[in-house]
Structure formats: C-alpha cells, structure tokens
Chains A and B, each alone.
Chain A
C-alpha cells in the first residue's frame, strides 16, 4: 500500500516538473530572404464579427503558419475593454467605438485605426403562419419596442387596424449585444432604450426557435441567422419612409434597406500595427473579406469602399 502511494505521488511530481519547462514565446524576427512570419496576434470582441475574423484567421494559417492568431468573443464592449488595456492587437466591433472607450484608450496611450469590413442587416421576423404582416413601418416598430410600450402594447391589434386581437410575443438579443444597441438606436432613437418585457437571449438560435414555434411571435436579429433558417421564419419588410424594402444582399449592400443595416468594424492597435505579421494580417483581411463575408452570411462593401479602407490602413501605418 505504502509503495503504491509513493509511486503515485512520485509520478505526480515528475509530471509536474516535465510540464513546467519550455515556454516558447515567439517574437517577430524575420531572418533571411525567406521572411517567415512569426508571432502572436490576439483578437477579441464582437460575436457578430467573429465568424468573419475566424474565417480570415483560418485562411491566414495557410500563408503564415507560424503566426499564432487567436480570436475571442467577449462582445464589442468586452473586446474594447481588453483593447484599451493593450491586451489585444485587433478588436472586432459591431458598432463604432464609444466616447467612454475612446477615453480609456487615450488614458493608456493606445492609438488605433477603424476599418470597415462588411455590412450586417438586421432582419425583423415573424412566424411563417403569420399571414397578416408583410411589412412594418419604422413608426410601428418603434411603437412595439419603445420603453413606453412596456405593459401597454400587448396585442397585435394595437399596432395596426386589421391585425388580429391576439397577444404579441417579442424576441430579441440581450442588452449586452451590439445588435441590441444598434436596433434600439435605429428604431427607438436612443441606444439601449427599449421595453424590458421581451424574451432576450444572447444566443440567436434561441430566438429562431422562439419565433418559429410561436404564431404570434415577432423578433429581430442578424440576417445571417435568417439565411440559415429560411424555412422556419418569415421575413418582414421594413418601411423607413421611402417604401417597403425587404432585406437582401442587394438592398443591404446598396444602402436602400434603412435604417436596419449597419457596417461592422475591426480596430487595429497602433503599436501592434508596427509588427510585420499584423500588417500582413490586416492587409490579408481586407483583401479576402469581400468573399468571406458573403460566405458566412454578411454583405460585402462595394469594391471602392474596400479600396478606401486599404488606403486608410496604409496611411495609418506609414504615419509612424
């Protein structure tokens, strides 16, 4: 008995020593003509932008296998917190940086450049069995979602004459998401202002599930989730004052689907942008993103717009 215990503890100690050695911290050192890129690129931020950045990082592996790119999903706000503490090189964001976050960056001496990488459309959705709604105006959406509607607007019939006298069930992203921020800004006029009595989930698949099983449901989320669940949901056109527009790749890209389409961004830290592997990665990002955005369910910017972003990044890195 005594022996087995000792062997067990001995093994644990040896294992412990073995796993403590060899910390391989790579620094960017370009040797020879081959110029093999090495180093780490830490990225964090919005879960909306994540699928694009992940895809780019995956492709980047093929051209620079020695560069370790990691991507987290702390949300746009969480990402900027890390970005401002100099913990990340690039921050994914589904909205522009807020003043508070700008101040935090300044305090820590962090400069950055904002690059637009794609558009995301927010889709308003109902159940396929819903045969009374084919479009809603922005005013009607506001009536449904504004803070004053809480406990007041509870039935479809209150929204427009002719709608059934049935309860309306609302689904939407949680208050921590950039998607929520954007929707409330566009519809209710103020960021973060909405009624609280709706079913909120950070997981868009839960929202899909909710709306697709509830005849009287209504909700909103990113267009990508609709594209993957076309058979379970009905898309609602939005009238922003210039006629009803259904969100599609085309209407989001040419800006006619308003006000519910938005650009999404990456932010690059200026210190990080001095490193060759980061420059290479960002250039690669802008080069590949038109194709990737489409593939993962987002909408590419016009080609001229990408050219502008590339130029913006070039001026940013040449300034130093």
Chain B
C-alpha cells in the first residue's frame, strides 16, 4: 500500500466517523421527539392549555405553568439583559487589561460552569430570606438572572470583539467620544450577536427546574401570577411532578407539556435567528 492510498483510507474513515458523530446526536433527538410526540401529541388541545392543575390527568392543564414560565421569562430578561450587556460592554470596551480585569474574566468564565442548583441555594439565602421576597416570581427571576448572566456577558463580549477596530478607530478619529462610538457604531453593529446570546441564555433559563424548586416554586398553584410577588410554578416543575405520579395519564400529560415547552424553546430560537439575520443585513460599512 502506497502512502497516498493509506492517506486516502484515513481521510475516508475520518469522514465516516464525522458523519456517525453528527447522526448520533440527531438520532437521539429523533428518538426522544418520536417517543414524546407519539405519547403526548393527541393530548394537546385548547383545554389542556387553559385548564388548571388537577388530580385527574384528563382534566389537568398547564395554564398556570405556562403563565409562570412567561412571567419568569419576561422578568428574567428585564433583569439580566441590561446588567449582562452593561457588564459585557464595560469589560470589553472600558476595562483596562489589568490583573483585576483578567481575574474578573476568569471568574465569569467559571461562573458559567457552576451547577444550577448552587445558584438556587444562593437565591434562597439572598433573595428569598435576606431580601424577604419569599418564593415569589421575582425571587425566581433574580436567581435565574444570576444563572444566565455569565452566558450573556460572554456572548456580548464576543459580539463586540467581532466589530472591526477600523470602524471604532474611524469613529474616534472623527471626534466621537467613547460612549458615542459604542452607542452609534459598536452596539448597532453587534446587536445581532448580543441578542442571539441573550435569547439562547433565556432559552436555557426556561428549562431550569432545580434552582426554582430550591427557591420555592410550588407544585400546585391554581392561579396565574398577577404581580412579581406572587407564588408561581413553571413548566419544567409541572412536568417533573407529572412524571413522578403513579397514574399513566400523567405521563401522557407530561409528554404533552414537554411538546409545548419544546415549541416555546423553538420559537425563542427562531426569534433569535430572525433578529440576527435582520440586523446583520442592515449593516453596511
């Protein structure tokens, strides 16, 4: 066997390996979706979306869980978006490259890897007990904000980094201040990337169960929150609760709720892609 033949075989086998790797993930996803859709799709109807929790699987609905999830979603975005983007801008544009800055940087990267239950315990102590917020939507949102802040900060920094320095230099050369440059040039140019990061982070937040259980989200809440101080439940908790019930009907409900949650996540990701494309096309230098 010549060297060339050998190389061709290696080349080919790596290609096959790559394809197998790609399809492995897809196959798992397909099996999961197939199982869930077969079991739960028929259960989804308008009543399922608007009914309150119940001990009878056929009567139970996810209205309060969906409303709780939406409340959490909106509040978490409102808290984490400005703080995360602000911190990202500071670290990328203003912070001097000192030891302190690199220490901050390492810590933020570390925070992104902390298990979510730890954030739950932190949230319980600080927001629920010290701030006295109780097991409210606000306490849950603040906790989830902590959880996704590192992701948003890192995404913001990456997006800002991708803006060519020639644009910033040109703006500065025309006499613009640092803030004018950021507001009028850097941010508009990177907003697509920033938003993508934020929306992906939020998509992660709506799937979280553990920290919210610790903070005090409940299993049975027969009313939708009407203020940030109300008690709440969210979809992952509802699903978890149903999966652990003995009656088969609840397993069907859980599958149906998983489909709804997946649809919400897909929608969020769709929105992220839409905004990214829309804003990126507009940029003409």
Q: Tell me, in angstroms, the Cα distance from A2 to B81 when the chains sit together.
A: 18
Q: Is A264 an interface residue (CB 8 A)?
A: no
Q: Is B226 an interface residue (CB 8 A)?
A: yes
Which B residues touch A47, using CB under 8 A? 244
Q: Is A84 an interface residue (CB 8 A)?
A: no
Q: Tell me, in angstroms, the Cα distance from A20 to B136 when the chains sit together.
A: 13
A19-B75, A58-B53, A296-B55 known; A72-B216 Cβ under 8 A: yes
Which A residues touch B188, using CB under 8 A? 1-2, 5
* A24-64 to B contact mask, C-beta < 8 Å, 1/0: 11000000000000000010100100110111011001000
Task: Pick from A50, A58, A292, A297: contact of B222, CB below 8 A.
Answer: A58
Within 8 A of A (CB), among B199-252: 216-223, 226-229, 231, 241, 243-248, 251
Q: Is B33 an interface residue (CB 8 A)?
A: no
Q: Tell me, in angstroms, the Cα distance from A26 to B219 when the chains sit together.
A: 21
A12-B78, A54-B220, A296-B55 known; A70-B246 Cβ under 8 A: no
B192 to chain A, nearest CB (A): 11
* A214-233 to B contact mask, C-beta < 8 Å, 1/0: 00000000001101110000
**Contact of B246 with A61 in the complex, beta carbons under 8 Å:** no
Which A residues touch B191, using CB under 8 A? 5
Chain B residue nearest to A59 (CB atoms) is: B55
A57-B222, A87-B134, A205-B246 known; A73-B227 Cβ under 8 A: no
Chain B residue nearest to A87 (CB atoms) is: B134
Q: Tell me, in angstroms, the Cα distance from A225 to B221 when the chains sit together.
A: 24
Within 8 A of A (CB), among B97-143: 134-135
Chain B residue nearest to A71 (CB atoms) is: B220
Which A residues touch B220, using CB under 8 A? 50, 53-54, 57, 69-72
**Contact of A203 with B246 in the complex, beta carbons under 8 Å:** no
Task: Pick from A1, A54, A72: contact of B282, CB below 8 A.
Answer: A1
Task: Pick from A25, A73, A87, A204: contact of B241, CB below 8 A.
Answer: A73
**Contact of B54 with A58 in the complex, beta carbons under 8 Å:** yes
**Contact of A297 with B229 in the complex, beta carbons under 8 Å:** no
Chain B residues within 8 Å of A, Cβ to Cβ: 52-55, 74-75, 78, 81, 134-135, 184, 187-188, 191, 216-223, 226-229, 231, 241, 243-248, 251, 279, 282-283
User: In the complex, given contacts A2-B184, A205-B243, what are 5 additional A-B residue pairs having Cβ atoms less than 8 angstroms apart?
Assistant: A4-B279, A47-B244, A51-B245, A70-B231, A71-B220
**Interchain residue pairs A-B with the least CB separation, the first 3:** A71-B220, A228-B246, A55-B55
